[in-house]
Structure 1
Amino acid sequence: MNKLRPFFHLKSSRHVLVMLALITSLSVAAPVLSIATALTFMPKLPGQLYWGVISLSAIIPLLIAPPIALGGLSILRLLTITIDRLDNYVRYDALTGVLSRVYLLGQMREILAKGGSFLMIDADHFKSINDTYGHDVGDEALKCLSEVLKTFAPNHALVGRLGGEEFGVFLPEMTSLEAGRVADNLCAAMRRSGEVIAGHRISLTISIGVAQHRPDSTLEQTLKLADEALYHAKRTGRDRYHVATASAALQAAKTGSIHGGQDRRSRHPATQLAQVGMSARSIPHATSRLNA
């Protein structure tokens, strides 16, 4: 069934015309062959009457099938285009083109059992960019950041925007050591690419928190762990990454939170999102984490 699905995925007028020709051919061929087969077992008909019956069986579906098929195929094409647009709206962030947070977290839940590491990424001093240069330049900075993530993250990585200036990258089946190397590369790439944005010397950098998912942990606990590691990277100077320690991971698995059960959800809405069923409401980040 999945192999046939692309065949009926009508996105162009050319595809509609091809399908129309196919449906019309089948509509004509079916009655002609049926009647011709039946007439072979009947008493011999005069030649003119035989071809008259055959012609009638071909003309009737030829007049009826094309307009009906064209109407149905046109409606199917419109539905296909609409569904694709809605699917893209759900899957991708409109500004940056990376995965939306809802789709990113949903995909992570599906493959989390295989293990991997999560990178929580935040643009440094992003509020000052908006305040100094305006939100249009801030949007260009976010696009630049997302391009760096898409270009320099491994091909199999899941890259998404969690909200505001915060992004997430899930690296399937990667250890924290391997993920640390990826994070280091991303920081270096952002340092180079973020020097000048939209004609302004901005020198945009990022901070990254790295957390390896443990088999006995939940998605929420892994997100919290990466969030805590990100906060540590921010606190110690920014433009760097920090890998969550094994002891912190063990504590998170035991208590469901970081630092002896202290609930940090109020500071980080993205983890709260995972816990409440991935709400589609926007997440404000302008004043989070030491003014980013």
Structure 2
Amino acid sequence: MDFLMKRMKLTSQRQVLTGTLLITLISVASPVSVFMVVLSFFNMESAAYWLIIGISAAIPLLIAPPIALIALSLLRMISETIEKVDAVVRRDPLTGVSTRAFFLEQVREHLANGGAFLMIDADHFKSINDTDGHDVGDAVLRRIAEIMSLSMDHAPGRALIGRLGGEEFGVFLEKANEEQAALFAAAVGSAIRLKAQKIPGCESAVTVSIGVAVHAAGDRLEQTMKRADVALYQAKNAGRDRFILSGSAQDVPARLPQSKAG
């Protein structure tokens, strides 16, 4: 069904006009061909023969073009509307990453392959909104999403990202184990700390807390997300700007190791 809809999708006036021409040619050629075959069995005068052929061509030639043009124009409008609705459903308008519903739908499609779920939350975001303004808060979220999206290129495999709501994002690393997920979380935390500090109007340091949970076979997605969420709040309570692995006995700082002088 999706394949058929993609094949029927009209996105330009040129496609509409081309389709109208093709429909018109088929509409005219079909009855003309039929009448030519049928009339060949009768001994008719040439004038009568061509009169019938002319009428069989003229009727669809008058009817087909306007009907085809109207129908294809409506189909084009429907295609454009579907694309706009699809964009709203699939893409968060503020950050450009996947919406919660579309993100979780994608995660479920790949969950059987295993992987790790990351809950990522901007630290002290309410304070940023209250102190610097909601426009600055929006800019912070856009910057975080941009940095995270760029980090997807360095993921250990297929990586999905979405906005779960407010200042919280989700990342699913397909087939990733605990070590790979920890390295990715550390890299994202460091990248945001280093690259999200020059946002106009933002006086606060921008950092994130991350909860990481490796999906266990047989668990539902909601169970894995819950464990990641618990780990996230552990990271918040431990001082923020860090990630915590679900089930880990100690927290792991999000900062990458710093080289020592000397």
The one-letter code of the counterpart of 2:186 is D
Distance 2:204 2:19 in 1: 53
Superposed, which structure 2 residues align to 1:70-109 within 5 Å? Answer: 70-109=69-108
Number of aligned residue pairs? 246
Structure-1 residue corresponding to 2:256: none
Distance 2:231 2:210 in 1: 7
Structure-1 residue corresponding to 2:141: 142
Distance 2:48 2:130 in 1: 87
Is 1:214 aligned with 2:216?
yes
The one-letter code of the counterpart of 2:235 is A
Secondary structure, aligned partner of 2:87: helix
Post-superposition shift, 1:64? 0.1
Structure-2 residue corresponding to 1:266: none
Q: Residue by residue, what CA displacement relative to the aligned partner does 1:146-175 show, whole Å, maximum 9, x if unpaired?
A: 111211124732211111100001111211
Is 1:186 aligned with 2:188?
yes
Structure-1 residue corresponding to 2:227: 225
Q: Residue by residue, what CA displacement relative to the aligned partner does 1:121-160 show, whole Å, maximum 9, x if unpaired?
A: 0011111111121000100111111111211124732211
When structure 1 is superposed on structure 2, of 132-141 and 16-25 the one drifting more is: 16-25
Q: Residue by residue, what CA displacement relative to the aligned partner does 1:221-270 show, whole Å, maximum 9, x if unpaired?
A: 101110111122222232222211379xxxxxxxxxxxxxxxxxxxxxxx
Structure-1 residue corresponding to 2:259: none
The one-letter code of the counterpart of 2:208 is I
Structure 2, unmatched stretches of 5+, are 250-262
Structure 1, unmatched stretches of 5+, are 248-292
Superposed, which structure 2 residues align to 1:43-58 within 5 Å? Answer: 43=43, 45-58=44-57
The one-letter code of the counterpart of 2:182 is G
Distance 2:200 2:48 in 1: 79
Please tell me the root mean square deviation across aligned C-alpha atoms, in Å. Answer: 1.9
Secondary structure, aligned partner of 1:26: helix
Q: Report the identity percentage.
A: 50
Q: Residue by residue, what CA displacement relative to the aligned partner does 1:14-66 show, whole Å, maximum 9, x if unpaired?
A: 221121111111111111111112222322x3333322222221111111001
Kept in 1, the 8 Å contact 2:115–2:174? The answer is yes
Secondary structure, aligned partner of 1:94: coil
Distance 1:14 1:206 in 2: 49
- Structure 1 pair 5–174 and aligned structure 2 pair: CA distance change class (3 A): same
Post-superposition shift, 1:199? 5.2
Kept in 2, the 8 Å contact 1:196–1:202? The answer is no
Distance 2:203 2:36 in 1: 79
Post-superposition shift, 1:193? 2.0
- Structure 1 pair 141–88 and aligned structure 2 pair: CA distance change class (3 A): same
Distance 1:228 1:47 in 2: 89
- TM-score normalised by the chain length of structure 2: 0.87
Superposed, which structure 2 residues align to 1:247-286 within 5 Å? Answer: none
Q: Residue by residue, what CA displacement relative to the aligned partner does 1:96-121 show, whole Å, maximum 9, x if unpaired?
A: 11111122222222322221110100
Distance 1:246 1:30 in 2: 73
Structure-2 residue corresponding to 1:34: 34
Secondary structure, aligned partner of 1:75: helix
Kept in 1, the 8 Å contact 2:136–2:201? The answer is no
Distance 2:248 2:168 in 1: 24
